[in-house]
């Protein structure tokens, strides 16, 4: 081969391939006319377009695609996102956003393919799996839908959307019994989801449970079950209009930046004074910041904007109770439950408020309903025990507290409550046994030890002065305090050492007086010890 031929061959090999150059060129983006758009939106979109034109990188195309997508300008958004995906193929967000875009347009095959790509890049992330399952369900591929939802449930067994999806698959397979079981579980996980209740109604109707089905189907057509989706939250924050302010404010609340959240949400309500969600989130930001009066005003504006919305009324009621306006708070929470009985937080808060007001019977009804919907709710079980005490059913209360102890063995409060319930039921020996168990399980918990000392010093069927003194001396070794001085005085009096008991009770009085505390109850005990009378008043108050 001649030298000229070799040189020509080298030039040919060095020249860029026309095909390769064409593959590297970005897809043209059909940008729309923005001249008639809202000024803030126009400025945002024009800036995104100019950046792509001057700097056609993956980041520029991605930001541009998301900016257009948030305003549902899907054609330029899709082109930008495809360019971003070509330039950054390992980023799962670009096929994910394309999947949502295709799904919203009814392009189910393209949506499924995009969500599969996102899933392959991040197999441990829930959102691609849940959206893939929904699309496969729409496509009628029940096996693929079940596989996606099952994978999601393995990652997050308590995620309502995954359980709900499996329930829908079973429903479409005409397996009504399995569907009902799954949908009932999904309802426990997300009680306010209309979609779950509607689908459960359909399953129950197939099972012949007509009355239950009618009640559930009365809510109307299903709505999507929500799930945490950080990528869509990221997208929503790009909105320059009211929804964007709300989305950014919500994220700032989640990040604990309450003052900034309030500023963002004030922009939302200034732009749309009748936007109920903006007012509700503003109320939450103010509440977290400690501005309870401002929070109340915002909740009232949310209710004014949407009078039939139950959640802001329930939140307002809870806030008012916190401010000490119990009757007014109860009124608003009851109104909220009239509008929507399926609000577990409002139902629970109302029960607590009623219990504090002394209406144990009504509180018990609400807590029974709460536990019917969520049997594993430990806090509801605890307050149910308190309600049982309030209505004079101490033995049942002790059994309720025992369930809480079993579920939360490291918590002292339910152990103390169980012992007090047993005392009220006249079971002093059993109360001592439970307190000894509590002390063994939680030896450093001082309230438990003090309770045991008092029981051992006062209860006829459980008195043991030597054991009480041993425990009290252990507490006092950590330093002198009012409760510790009183505890050792009780134990000494039980052993007949009244002069020593009076001396320690005197120290308790001195410490209480120095702290500015009312000493009259302590002086009453001192007089008893000075009269050589041991303490014989066991714990009595159910509070």
Question: Where do the domains of the chain lie, and which CATH numbers do they carry?
Answer: 39-217 (1.25.40.10)
Share of the chain above pLDDT 70, in %: 93
| 31 secondary structure, DSSP code | P
Residue 8 has pLDDT above 50, yes or no: no
Predicted local distance difference test score (pLDDT) of residue 20:
39
* Predicted model pTM: 0.65
Residue 430: pLDDT band (50, 70, 90) is very high
DSSP per-residue codes, 246-291: HHHHHHHHHTT-HHHHHHHHHHHHHH-TT-HHHHHHHHHHHHHHT-
Question: Tell me, what's the pLDDT at 222?
Answer: 58
* Residue 346 CB-density burial (10 A; 0-12 exposed, 13-18 middle, 19+ buried): buried
Q: Is the pLDDT of residue 198 over 50?
A: yes
- Stretch among 183-197, 291-305, 434-448, 475-489 having the lowest mean pLDDT: 183-197
Band of residue 510 on the pLDDT scale cut at 50, 70, 90? very high
C-alpha span between 118 and 141 (Å, rounded): 19
For the stretch 515-542, pLDDT in tens is: 999 999 999 999 999 999 988 765 443 3
Q: Which comes out higher in pLDDT, residue 499 or 40?
A: 499
Are the C-beta atoms of residues 317 and 333 closer than 8 Å to each other? Answer: yes
517's tokens: 């505390």
Question: Mean pLDDT throughout 262-268?
Answer: 91
Q: With a cut of 80, say whether residue 27 has pLDDT above it.
A: yes
Q: How would residue 10 be classed by pLDDT, with cut points 50, 70 and 90?
A: very low
Q: Could you give the CA distance from residue 333 to residue 329 in angstroms, rounded to a whole number?
A: 6
Q: Which of 291, 278, 285, 345 is nearest to 318 (CA)?
A: 345
Contact (Cβ atoms closer than 8 angstroms) between residue 434 and residue 426: no
Is the pLDDT score of 333 beyond 60? yes
Top mean-pLDDT range of 7-16, 160-169, 192-201:
160-169
Residue 7, pLDDT score: 38
Please answer whether residues 390 and 355 qualify as being in contact, where contact means their C-beta atoms are separated by less than 8 angstroms.
Answer: yes
Q: How far is residue 501 from each of residues 29, 129, 427, 450, 534, measured CA to CA in Å?
A: 89, 69, 28, 16, 9
Q: For residue range 349-385, what is the model confidence (pLDDT) as tens digits?
A: 999 999 999 999 999 999 999 898 778 888 999 999 9
Residue 5 has pLDDT above 60, yes or no: no
Query: Tell me, what's the pLDDT at 183?
Result: 93
Half-sphere exposure of 319 (CA within 13 A, CB side): 24
Q: In whole angstroms, give the CA distance from residue 266 to residue 264.
A: 5
**How long, in residues, is the chain?**
543
Locate 538 and state its tokens.
Answer: 């066991």
Classify 456 as helix, strand or coil: helix
Query: Which CA distances in Å does 147 have to 115, 416, 431?
Result: 14, 47, 52
Residue 260 in this model has a pLDDT that exceeds 50: yes
d(CA 329, CA 350): 8
Q: Say if residue 113 is exposed, middle or buried (CB neighbours under 10 Å; 0-12, 13-18, 19+).
A: middle
The reported pLDDT for the residue numbered 234 is: 85
Distances (CA, A) of 510 to 227, 385, 426: 58, 37, 35
Once rounded to an integer, what is the mean pLDDT over residues 135-150?
96
C-alpha to C-alpha distance for 324 and 334, rounded to whole angstroms: 17
């Amino acid at each position: 081969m001649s030298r000229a031929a070799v040189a020509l061959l080298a030039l040919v090999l060095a020249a860029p391939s026309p095909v390769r150059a064409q593959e590297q060129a970005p897809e043209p983006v059909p940008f729309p006319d923005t001249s008639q758009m809202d000024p803030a939106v126009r400025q945002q979109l024009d800036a995104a377009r100019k950046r792509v034109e001057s700097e056609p990188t993956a980041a520029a195309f991605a930001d541009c695609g998301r900016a257009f997508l948030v305003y549902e300008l899907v054609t330029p958004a899709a082109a930008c996102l495809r360019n971003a995906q070509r330039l950054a193929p390992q980023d799962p967000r670009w096929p994910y956003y394309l999947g949502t875009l295709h799904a919203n347009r009814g392009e189910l095959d393209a949506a499924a393919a995009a969500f599969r790509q996102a899933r392959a890049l991040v197999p441990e992330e829930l959102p691609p799996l849940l959206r893939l399952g929904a699309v496969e369900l729409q496509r009628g591929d029940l096996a693929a839908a079940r596989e996606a939802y099952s994978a999601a449930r393995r990652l997050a067994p308590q995620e309502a959307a995954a359980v709900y999806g499996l329930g829908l698959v079973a429903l479409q397979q005409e397996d009504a019994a399995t569907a009902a079981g799954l949908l009932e579980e999904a309802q426990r996980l997300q009680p306010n989801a209309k979609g779950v209740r509607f689908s459960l109604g359909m399953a129950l109707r197939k099972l012949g449970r007509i009355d239950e089905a009618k009640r559930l189907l009365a809510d109307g057509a299903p709505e999507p079950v929500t799930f945490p989706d950080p990528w869509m939250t990221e997208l929503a924050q790009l909105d320059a209009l009211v929804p964007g302010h709300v989305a950014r404010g919500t994220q700032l609340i989640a990040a604990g930046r309450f003052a900034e959240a309030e500023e963002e949400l004030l922009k939302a309500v200034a732009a749309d004074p009748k936007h109920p969600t903006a007012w509700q989130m503003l109320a939450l930001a103010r509440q977290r910041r400690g501005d309870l009066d401002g929070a109340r005003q915002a909740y009232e504006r949310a209710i004014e904007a949407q009078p039939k919305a139950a959640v802001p009324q329930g939140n307002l009621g809870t806030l008012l109770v916190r401010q000490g306006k119990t009757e007014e708070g109860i009124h608003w929470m009851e109104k909220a439950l009239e509008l929507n009985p399926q609000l577990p937080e409002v139902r629970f808060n109302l029960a607590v408020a009623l219990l504090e007001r002394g209406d144990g019977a009504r509180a018990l009804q609400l807590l029974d309903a709460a536990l019917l919907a969520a049997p594993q709710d430990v806090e509801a079980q605890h307050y149910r025990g308190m309600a049982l005490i309030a209505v004079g059913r101490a033995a049942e209360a002790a059994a309720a507290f025992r369930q809480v102890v079993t579920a939360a063995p490291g918590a002292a409060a339910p152990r103390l409550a169980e012992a007090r319930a047993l005392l009220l039921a006249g079971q002093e020996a059993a109360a001592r046994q439970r307190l000894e168990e509590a002390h063994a399980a939680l030896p450093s918990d001082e309230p438990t030890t003090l309770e045991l000392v008092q029981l051992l010093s006062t209860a006829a069927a459980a008195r043991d002065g030597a054991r009480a003194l041993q425990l009290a001396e252990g507490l006092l070794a950590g330093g002198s305090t009012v409760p510790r001085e009183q505890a050792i005085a009780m134990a000494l009096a039980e052993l007949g050492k009244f002069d020593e008991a009076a001396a320690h009770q005197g120290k308790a009085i001195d410490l209480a007086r120095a702290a500015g505390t009312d000493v009259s109850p302590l002086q009453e005990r001192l007089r008893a010890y000075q009269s050589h009378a041991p303490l014989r008043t066991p714990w009595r108050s159910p509070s």
